Chain A
Amino acid sequence: NAGVTQTPKFQVLKTGQSMTLQCAQDMNHNSMYWYRQDPGMGLRLIYYSASEGTTDKGEVPNGYNVSRLNKREFSLRLESAAPSQTSVYFCASSGRLNTGELFFGEGSRLTVL
């Protein structure tokens, strides 16, 4: 059972380049999330999607866009990457409050030069 799958695992970009982080879950979850993790900051929410067709901003949305392509997939796009976006990105999903927890992907390390 794959759970939450993120791609790519690692990426190096130059300032101004664009890229998309892909995320897919196979648990039939309604809600999906994108977090970023920086040293000493914990995990901060970028965007989330409560259900297919809806997206909402989190704590740190500037410089990012998201697409909830269908129930399974939730992508995160950096249109013009900046060094401040160097971080580890996590995708997560959750079902309807059965256990309350979020299930996380393995993370994607992004470096912007």
Chain B
Amino acid sequence: AQTVTQSQPEMSVQEAETVTLSCTYDTSESDYYLFWYKQPPSRQMILVIRQEAYKQQNATENRFSVNFQKAAKSFSLKISDSQLGDAAMYFCAYRARRGGSEKLVFGKGTKLTVNP
């Protein structure tokens, strides 16, 4: 079964600094998606960034970028120029790319605090 591990239960960063959240996963599939979701105190699950496994280029979305190492099964999230609004729980998630009904498997999350 696929598993997703986030080894940092909590992280903190100073406003305007850069922080990296770690994620590793285990799968025997070759084609899959990886995601980072953000959950602010409002509880809403917000997609931050998506990576398709067949793409070698790391995904970027404004201040958010990933370091995708397929052989190492590692998928870290870098947040640059951190803002107070980035404070949230961040979940790494994996989804096999097969029939369209595949489950999303989540890590346990990293709570990010942004200090002014």
A109 — which chain B residues lie within 8 A by C-beta? 43
- Taking a contact as CB atoms under 8 Å apart, the answer to whether A101 and B99 are in contact is no
CB neighbors of B among A55-113 (8 A) = 58, 88, 90, 92, 94-97, 99-102, 104, 106-107, 109
Q: How far is the CA of A97 from the CA of B53 in the complex (A)?
A: 13
- For the side of the interface on A, what is the size category? 20 to 34
- B108 contacts partner chain A, Cβ-Cβ < 8 Å: yes
A101 — which chain B residues lie within 8 A by C-beta? 33, 35, 47, 50
- B101 contacts partner chain A, Cβ-Cβ < 8 Å: yes
Q: Between A and B, how many residue pairs show CB distances below 8 Å?
A: 61
Known A33-B104, A42-B109, A101-B33; 18 more pairs at CB < 8 Å: A30-B101, A33-B103, A40-B109, A41-B108, A42-B91, A43-B91, A43-B106, A45-B104, A48-B101, A48-B103, A50-B101, A51-B101, A92-B104, A94-B100, A100-B50, A100-B97, A102-B95, A104-B45
B residues at A contact (CB < 8 Å): 9, 33, 35, 43-45, 47, 50, 52, 91, 95, 97, 99-101, 103-109
Point out the residue from A42, A95, A102 that lies within 8 Å of B107, measured CB to CB.
Answer: A42
- Taking a contact as CB atoms under 8 Å apart, the answer to whether A100 and B99 are in contact is no
A sample of 28 cross-chain residue pairs with beta-carbon separation below 8 angstroms, ordered by A number, consists of A30-B100, A30-B101, A31-B101, A33-B103, A41-B108, A42-B91, A43-B91, A44-B106, A45-B104, A48-B103, A50-B99, A50-B100, A50-B101, A51-B101, A58-B103, A88-B43, A90-B45, A92-B45, A94-B101, A95-B100, A100-B35, A100-B52, A100-B95, A101-B47, A101-B50, A102-B95, A106-B44, A107-B45
B107 — which chain A residues lie within 8 A by C-beta? 42
Point out the residue from B35, B100, B105, B106 that lies within 8 Å of A96, measured CB to CB.
Answer: B100
Q: How far is the CA of A95 from the CA of B100 in the complex (A)?
A: 7
Beyond A99-B50, A100-B33, A100-B52, is A40–B101 a contact (Cβ under 8 Å)? Answer: no
In the complex formed, the residue of B with least CB distance to A95 is B100
B95 — which chain A residues lie within 8 A by C-beta? 100, 102
Q: How far is the CA of A99 from the CA of B51 in the complex (A)?
A: 10
Q: How far is the CA of A33 from the CA of B112 in the complex (A)?
A: 27
